[in-house]
Amino acid sequence: MSTGPILGGISQLEGQQRKEALELLDATLAQLATGDGPSYKALNVTSVTGQVVAGTLNTFEVQLDNGSEQKQGTVKIWTQPWLKENGTNIKIKFQGEDDELDRTW
């Protein structure tokens, strides 16, 4: 019986996978800031999950700082590295807010 990840299943990331996901979070937030913004820095990541869905979907429960305030929210990063354009999508939704930031590059 296999103990590997189930395709489409969500799993908590640990060890090297978590480290790589956190590096992806920092790099994606930096890329977001170079476009039409906004600029955020991840302060406290409480949860990181991964899911294989025509690429990889990482979901972070994180506290973000934009330089003037800190907010708790969910960041979802969907990567499809084989695409030359529009291979990365980031969605940021803050607790208690209806709006969701959604950018693709």
Higher-pLDDT residue of 84 and 104 is: 104
In a domain, 71, yes or no: yes
Q: Round to whole Å and give the CA distance between 76 and 25.
A: 9
Domain enclosing residue 50, as ranges = 11-104
Q: Who's near 90: CB < 8 A, 6+ residues apart?
A: 28, 29, 32, 75, 76, 77, 78, 101, 102, 103, 104
Task: Give the pLDDT band of residue 103 (cuts 50, 70, 90).
Answer: very high
> What share of the chain has pLDDT > 90, as a percent?
83
Task: Give the pLDDT band of residue 101 (cuts 50, 70, 90).
Answer: very high
For the range 82-88, what are the long-range contacts, defined as Cβ-Cβ under 8 Å and sequence gap of 24 or more?
Answer: 87/55, 88/28, 88/31
In a domain, 2, yes or no: no
Cis-peptide into 5, omega within 30 deg: no
**Model pTM?**
0.87
- Report pLDDT for 37: 86
The domain spanning residue 50 has which CATH number? 3.10.450.10
pLDDT tens readout for residues 17-50: 999 999 999 999 999 999 888 999 999 999 999 9
In a domain, 4, yes or no: no
